[in-house]
Amino acid sequence: MIIHEQEITWATHKLILTNKKAIYWPAQRTLILSDVHLGKAAHFRRNGIPIPSKIHQKDLDILEILLNHYTVYKVIVVGDLIHANANGEVLDFKNFLYKFQTIEFVLIKGNHDRIADRKILDLGFRSVCDELHIEGITFVHEPDKSAKFQISGHIHPGVTVKLPTNKYFRLPAYVVSEDMIILPAFSQFTGLDTKQVFEKAVNYAVLDTGIIVVK
């Protein structure tokens, strides 16, 4: 699996956007991702909707590749770690974190993170908070258009791209403006919001083969 990168300078910091839907911040040795939605597939199966049982394992495999590829001291999950209640997928994540005990995992709580903080800490997270401030950057789950230098998630941004054959397809994307970065959903099992338009923003669309700029 090849990791493709797009380096940007934002809020005076060098950040690396990856085609694996996570940002690496070299100066802080920090990996940033959002909307993992652990347990979503199991939640759907429990309600009679046939979803592959190992879809979450692909997300964990990608996360492991990122953690092994970069020098990571901290992982910031910008909300919606757990889709609903704890289940087998969440326990798989606890076992996953056990392999990376030297890395500090931090959760910014999202609207889906309704379980008690102590249960999240029991998974192996070092801290849980509503927002986090590092080097002038604010990390929150839901984007605030009036904020300055904010990294968020929540809306699962995407773009629609037209092919030369006049067919259209949708891609997850980073939304980057002067004051805001909105992360694509890390989970493969999420929808895409291609309707919201953010003024003076650049969309970095994610493909298996790289990252493309869509203005």
DSSP state of 26: G
Give pLDDT < 70 ranges for the chain: 39-55, 83-88, 112, 163-164, 189
- Per-domain boundaries in the chain: 5-214
User: Which CATH architecture fits 5-214?
Assistant: 4-Layer Sandwich (3.60)
Residues facing 23 on adjacent strands: 17, 32
Token code pair at residue 137: 């950057």
Digit-coded pLDDT (tens) for 139-198? 999 998 888 999 999 999 999 987 667 788 899 999 999 999 999 999 986 778 888 888
Would you state the structure tokens that stand for residue 53, as one six-digit string? Answer: 């049982």
